[in-house]
């Protein structure tokens, strides 16, 4: 997902360190979200395998998980 909102802020040469800190914080947050997503995917795969879910059950589980992500995204905005 991309944030399509564009904001403009006037910055000067003294703001370089602040910009660097903000960039690092954003990257750290992205890495953390990616790690959470990867962990959830592994858990889903293990659940499907362990319980030998058929294709329809696996699809339903994936749809439920995507709905969870959608709700979380709506809470952020």
Where would I find the H helices in 1-77?
A: 16-50, 55-76
* Per-residue pLDDT in tens (0 to 9) along the chain, 77 residues: 566 777 776 666 678 888 899 999 999 999 999 999 999 999 999 999 999 999 999 999 999 999 998 998 888 76
Q: Residue 49: what pLDDT?
A: 97
Q: Residue 16: what pLDDT?
A: 85
**48 Cβ contact list (under 8 Å, min separation 6):** 57, 58, 61
CA distance 75 to 77: 6
For the whole prediction, is pTM greater than 0.75?
no
Q: Residue 57: what pLDDT?
A: 97
């Amino acid at each position: 997902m991309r944030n399509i909102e564009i904001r403009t802020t006037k910055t000067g040469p003294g703001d370089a360190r602040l910009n660097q800190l903000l960039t690092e914080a954003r990257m750290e947050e992205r890495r953390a979200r990616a790690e959470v997503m990867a962990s959830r995917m592994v858990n889903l795969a293990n659940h499907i395998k362990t319980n030998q879910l058929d294709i329809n059950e696996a699809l339903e589980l994936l749809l439920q998980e995507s709905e969870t992500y959608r709700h979380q995204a709506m809470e952020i905005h």
